[in-house]
Amino acid sequence: MRGLGEHVPGVAAVAVPYTLGEILYTGSGTALVAASAPPHLLGRALARWELSSGVGRAAAPAVLTALLASGPGLLWGALAVTTAVGALAMLRLGPTE
């Protein structure tokens, strides 16, 4: 069995870029949602944004670390599948304008 120290570079390689991405888009995400939502749906749009991003931020570190511990193939496969599912959901359920 491999030691915990062998996973540190891999965890850092995933966690550091992920955290930088979170920092870069977090400040502008709420403003973009507020600017693009119709005035009568602003509260609903902001609540949906905060719920979806909050759940993702809370679960991501544990899920990514568990996937990385299982192997890089599983980690990247899961990320590719969830990205594809999210893109398809946006194409199907997103605004048509």
Domain assignments of the chain as residue spans, ordered by start? 4-93
Predicted TM-score (pTM) above 0.85: no
* Secondary element (H or E) of residue 92: helix 72-93
C-alpha to C-alpha distance for 39 and 19, rounded to whole angstroms: 32
What does the pLDDT average to over 48-72? Answer: 84
* Band (43; pLDDT cuts 50, 70, 90): very high
pLDDT score, position 57: 80
Q: Which residue has the higher pLDDT, 27 or 43?
A: 43
* Band (5; pLDDT cuts 50, 70, 90): low
The yes-or-no verdict on residue 1 having pLDDT over 50 is: no
What does the pLDDT average to over 11-15? Answer: 81
C-alpha to C-alpha distance for 7 and 13, rounded to whole angstroms: 10
C-alpha to C-alpha distance for 51 and 33, rounded to whole angstroms: 13
The residue ranges of DSSP E strands in 1-97, in sequence order, are none
C-alpha to C-alpha distance for 48 and 29, rounded to whole angstroms: 12
